């Protein structure tokens, strides 16, 4: 068995273009486009839903509702700048967290329960810039390279849907400390994954 | 609450993770609507999020989920056909004219005439009793479902303006409308869509159903809080599709919708196996 073929960047770009075309098909009501997108992304969508909800039945509901949300809102995607994958995973996360929050008594829900993903989750992602360059293992290594308190703060928020205040309560850390850990962790991850420093770093110290 | 750009930058990490308190989330949203600053920090920090998901190992869901997703999309398409402008970008399609139901007073029979595969196949003796469960608007929706699903099966585009969309079909993409996909249960291949309108009307579409025989019916049960009530019932022919409408749905934080096959229409609580179910969060 020989070495794997070198990454063809053009191929990655072509794949992204193909996804954009699939989204146009979905927006036009073509079931085939949805089938292809499902076949490409269902395992990651389900993994994320399962990680957040921890229940297979709920995770299935979340994935189905998420693809349905993608199906019904594909026309809006055309105006976005992010990848289909990032967009879909944002929908999955939003619905999964919405589901678990609704299961908690006394929790006030965000007002957004519609098909529309919150703005914070539809921000253009930079997935196309690095698709193919990083695999899951590399990303896990980057996460594990963070100080544990920073990683914990990010994972509590991302995978458990906890607010900063809830994280402070759970960990016993002051709220300000939780906010700081979250910021430092995200900046460090960005630096580690993309090898960039940017405006965030400069502003952090001011 | 009005906040300034500096405050948005301060809140950015919590905002992109959705981890702010509700008031702060709303304040940032409000600020961004009118702010000229592109706030690059949001893009930069938010760009990390897809990696977090990708750190997980992919997990293969049950195979039935794919069928459920596609069935729900088909049901959605049936009830709300896409516009001509959007459909215009489609590629390599076969077109066929589909007879349109009469606009206005659409009868169930009109749907039966569409292709002979009526969703709710009723005998004359039963029809009057079933009318309580199947209002005329349901029949319109049923006709829409049949047209679109069957059309899809033949690779045929729904002709905008030539089918149910020209009639009094309902629009459930409006403000306050919520829905849930119905996922196959046990060994069933049935799946569909449950849609709750702000008016309190519930619409349920299911396909992939096994045909009913004898006195068998499919019953749609709705559980609100701890009470389970009958939403409606229908029989199914070889086409495998069914739909109901329920008026005056009880208010609750969530509605569990389950479709069961029952031995007859006289049962008063779910007894048969559940073939599809889902939860609408209101």
Per-residue model confidence as pLDDT tens digits over B162-205: 333 322 233 444 567 777 778 777 777 788 888 888 888 888 88
Task: Provide the pLDDT for residue A185.
Answer: 94
Overall average pLDDT of the B234-258 stretch = 84
Domain A134-206 class? Answer: mainly alpha
Residue of A nearest to B276 (CA): A61
Query: pTM for this one?
Result: 0.58
The residue segments making up the domain with residue B24 are: 5-54
Least confident segment among A125-129, B223-227, B244-248, B260-264: A125-129
Q: Is the pLDDT of residue A183 over 90?
A: yes
Could you tell me the sign of the dihedral formed by the alpha carbons of B156, B157, B162, B168, in that order? positive
How many residues appear in chain A?
206
Query: Domains in chain B: how many in total?
Result: 3
Pair of tokens at residue A21: 């075309």
Size of interface A-B (CB pairs under 8 A): 232
Per-residue model confidence (pLDDT) at position B175: 63
Asked: is A8-124 a CATH 1.10.1740.10 domain? The reply is yes
Is the separation of the CB atoms in B45 and B12 below 8 Å? Answer: yes
CA distance A4 to chain B (A): 21
Q: What is the pLDDT of residue A55?
A: 92
Contact assignment for A163 to B14 by CB distance below 8 Å: yes
Q: Which residue has the tokens 């989920």?
A: B65
Per-residue model confidence (pLDDT) at position B77:
83
Which of these three, B140, B166, B192, is where a domain ends? Answer: B166
d(CA A183, CA B14): 8
3-state secondary structure of A74: helix
Average pLDDT (B64-90) is 72
Domain end residue (candidates: B15, B36, B54): B54
Q: Are B280 and A113 in contact (CB under 8 A)?
A: no
Residue B75 β-bridge partners: none
Q: To probe the interface with B, which of A29, A83, A146 has the most B CB atoms within 10 Å?
A: A29
Per-residue model confidence (pLDDT) at position B1: 57
Averaged pLDDT of chain A: 76
B83 in the same domain as B10: no
Choose from A32, A51, A64, A145 for mutation: most chain B CBs within 10 A.
Answer: A64
- Which chain A residues touch B70 with a CB distance below 8 Å? 31, 34-35, 38
Residue B51 pLDDT: 81
**Could you give the CA distance from residue A134 to residue A192 in angstroms, rounded to a whole number?**
11
The per-residue pLDDT for A80 is 52
What sign has the CA pseudo-torsion A172, B26, B281, A154?
negative
User: Which of A47, A63, A186 has its CB closest to that of B56?
Assistant: A47
Is B171 within the bounds of a domain? no
Q: Does residue A38 carry a pLDDT above 80?
A: yes
Which of B32, B40, B254 lies nearest to residue A119, judging by beta carbons?
B32
In B47-191, alpha helices (H): 49-54, 64-79, 84-87, 108-115, 124-130, 136-153
DSSP helix, strand, coil percent of chain A (3-state; round to 5): 70, 0, 25
Collapsing DSSP to helix, strand or coil, B195 comes out as strand
Cα distance from N-terminal residue to C-terminal residue, chain A? 54
CA distance B70 to chain A (A): 7
Mean pLDDT of the A101-130 span? 46
Q: Pinpoint the residues of chain A covered by CATH 1.10.10.10.
A: 134-206
CB-based contact B8:B25 (threshold 8 Å): no
Q: Which residues 105-134 of A are in CB contact (within 8 Å) with B?
A: 108, 110-111, 113, 118-121, 123-127, 134
Are B259 and B216 in contact, with CB atoms under 8 Å apart? Answer: no
Is the C-alpha dihedral spanning B134, B136, B141, B147 positive or negative? positive
Beta bridge partners, B244, equal: B204
Return the minimum-mean-pLDDT range out of A28-37, A39-48, B77-86, B231-240: B77-86
Q: Cα separation of A15 and A27, whole Å?
A: 18
pLDDT digits (tens, 9 = 90+) for B9-23: 999 999 989 899 989
Q: What are phi and psi of A3, to 5 degrees?
A: -70, 150
Q: Give chain A positions within 8 Å (CB) of B159.
A: none
Q: Return phi, psi of residue B42, to 5°.
A: -70, -40
Residue B254, pLDDT score = 84
pLDDT reported for residue B116: 26
Give the pLDDT band of residue A165 (cuts 50, 70, 90): very high
Who among B40, B57, B278 is closest to A61 (CB)?
B278
Kindly state the tokens that stand for B216.
């068998």
Phi, psi of B101 (to 5 degrees): -65, 155
Q: Which tops the pLDDT comparison, B164 or B46? A: B46
- CA dist B125 and A185 (Å) reads 69
In degrees, to the nearest 5, what angle opens at C-alpha A43 toward C-alphas A37 and A44? 90
Q: Does A165 touch chain B (CB under 8 A)?
A: yes
- What span, in angstroms and rounded, lies between the C-alpha atoms of B220 and B227? 14
Q: Is the pLDDT of residue B103 over 50?
A: no
Q: What is the CATH number of the domain that holds B254?
A: 2.60.40
B-chain residues near A85 (CB < 8 A): 50
- Examine the predicted complex and report whether its ipTM is higher than 0.85: no
Contact A26, A16 (CB under 8 A): no
Interaxial angle between packed helices A56-77 and A84-103, expressed in degrees from 0 to 180 and rounded to the nearest 10 = 130
Contact (CB<8Å) A139/B54: yes
Structure tokens at B236: 């199914």
Angle, CA of A83, A66 and B228, to the nearest 5°:
175
Establish how many alpha carbons lie within 13 A of residue A86's alpha carbon, considering only the half-sphere containing its beta carbon: 26
Chain-chain contact of A179 with B14 (C-beta, under 8 angstroms): yes
As beta bridge partners, residue B221 has B230, B258
Same domain, B48 and B71: no
Counting Cβ atoms within 10 Å, is residue B267 exposed (0-12), middle (13-18) or buried (19+)?
Answer: middle
Amino acid A176: pLDDT: 95
Q: What is the per-residue pLDDT across B184-193, written as a single tens digit (0 to 9) for each?
A: 777 777 888 8
State the pLDDT confidence band at B133, using cuts at 50, 70 and 90: very low
Q: What is the pLDDT of residue A99?
A: 86
Phi-psi category of residue A161: left, alpha or beta, with phi > 0 → left and psi -120 to 50 → alpha: left
Provide the 3-class DSSP secondary structure of residue B280.
strand
Report the C-alpha gap between B170 and B244 in whole angstroms: 14
Q: Tell me whether residues B56 and A187 touch, CB distance under 8 A.
A: no
One domain, residues B157 and B123:
yes
**DSSP result, A82-116:** S-HHHHHHHHHHHHHHHHHHHHSTTPPPPS--SSS
């Amino acid at each position: 068995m020989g070495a794997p073929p070198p990454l063809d960047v053009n191929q990655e770009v072509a794949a992204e273009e193909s996804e954009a075309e699939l989204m146009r098909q979905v927006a036009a009501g073509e079931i085939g486009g949805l089938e292809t997108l499902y076949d490409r992304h269902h395992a990651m969508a389900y993994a994320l839903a399962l990680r957040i909800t921890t229940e297979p039945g709920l995770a299935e509901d979340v994935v189905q509702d998420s693809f349905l949300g993608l199906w019904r809102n594909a026309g809006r995607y055309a105006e976005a700048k992010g990848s289909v994958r990032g967009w879909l995973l944002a929908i999955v996360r939003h619905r999964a967290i919405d589901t678990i929050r609704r299961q908690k008594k006394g929790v006030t829900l965000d007002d957004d329960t519609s098909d529309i993903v919150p703005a914070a989750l539809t921000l253009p992602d930079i997935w196309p810039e690095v698709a193919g360059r990083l695999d899951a293992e590399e990303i896990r290594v980057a996460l594990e390279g963070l100080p544990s308190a920073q990683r914990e703060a990010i994972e509590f928020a991302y995978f458990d849907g906890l607010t900063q205040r809830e994280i402070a309560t759970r960990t016993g850390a002051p709220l300000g400390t939780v906010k700081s850990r979250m910021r430092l962790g995200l900046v460090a991850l960005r630096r580690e994954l993309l090898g960039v420093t940017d405006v965030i770093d400069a502003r952090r110290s001011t | 609450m009005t906040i300034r750009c500096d405050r948005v930058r301060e809140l950015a990490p919590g905002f992109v993770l959705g981890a702010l308190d509700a008031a702060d989330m709303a304040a940032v949203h409000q600020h961004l609507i009118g702010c000229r600053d592109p706030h690059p920090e949001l893009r930069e920090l938010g760009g990390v999020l897809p990696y977090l998901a990708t750190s997980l190992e992919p997990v293969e869901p049950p195979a039935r989920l794919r069928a459920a997703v596609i069935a729900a999309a088909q049901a959605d398409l049936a009830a709300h056909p896409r516009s001509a402008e959007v459909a215009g970008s489609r590629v390599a399609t076969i077109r066929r004219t589909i007879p349109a139901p009469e606009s206005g007073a659409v009868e169930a029979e009109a749907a039966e005439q569409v292709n002979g595969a009526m969703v709710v196949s009723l005998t004359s003796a039963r029809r009057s009793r079933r009318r309580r469960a199947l209002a005329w608007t349901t029949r319109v929706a049923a006709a829409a479902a049949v047209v679109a699903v069957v059309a899809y099966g033949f690779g045929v585009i729904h002709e905008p303006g030539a089918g149910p969309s020209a009639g009094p079909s309902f629009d459930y993409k409006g403000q306050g409308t919520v829905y849930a996909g119905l996922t196959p249960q046990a060994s069933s291949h049935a799946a569909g869509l449950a849609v709750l309108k702000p008016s309190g009307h519930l619409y349920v579409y299911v396909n992939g159903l096994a045909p009913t025989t004898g006195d068998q019916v499919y019953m749609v049960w709705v559980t609100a809080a701890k009470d389970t009530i009958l939403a409606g019932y229908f029989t199914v022919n070889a086409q495998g599709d069914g739909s109901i409408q329920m008026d005056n749905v009880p208010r609750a934080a969530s509605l569990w919708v389950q479709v069961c096959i029952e031995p007859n229409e006289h049962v008063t609580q779910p007894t048969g196996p559940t073939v599809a179910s889902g939860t609408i969060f209101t």
